[in-house]
Amino acid sequence: MSSLSNLLIQFSVGIVPLGVAYLAFRSATDANKKTQQTALLQAERHAELERSKVDADAYVRAKTIYEDALTQMERQVDRLQDQATLLSADLASEQTGSAAMREQIRQFQAQIRALERTVAALRGQLIEAGLSPVSGSETTGPHMIGGPPRPRPAE
């Protein structure tokens, strides 16, 4: 029996290291899993951080582009407003000049009508005096003053 008890003792002594080895293996496996999970979480956090950095950089670039475009648009609006102001001033000046010219034209037309009446009166006086007035083609310009010459009264 001593060999049986020796065998049992040897067997139990052999099983304990196997049990310890098994527990060590399980602990190492669990630790490995946790390490891998931690590494995955860290990798995901790092990737998320990198995405955030890329998004932040893209935001900064987009903001810069937007602000530059806005500044250019504001300058363009200012230039357009300046041009509109100049055009408005030019238009007012042109309208004033146009009104003055219309008034001069009205005055000239009134003077022409007065001169035409004077020419007609003088022509009538010449005809009454028995003189022949100058024909319309012999007047001072290519445009006839007054109307067509009146016929001479019969004597």
Domain boundaries, the chain: 2-131
Name the E strands within the chain: none
Position 145 scores a pLDDT of 54
- Cβ contacts of 144 within 8 Å, gap of 6 or more: 136, 137
Q: Is 155's pLDDT higher than 70?
A: no
pTM of the model: 0.43
Q: What is the pLDDT of residues 77-96, one digit of tens each?
A: 999 999 999 999 999 999 99
Q: Does residue 104 sit in helix, strand or coil?
A: helix
Q: For residue 11, what pLDDT band results from cuts at 50, 70 and 90? A: confident
pLDDT in tens, 29-39: 988 899 999 98
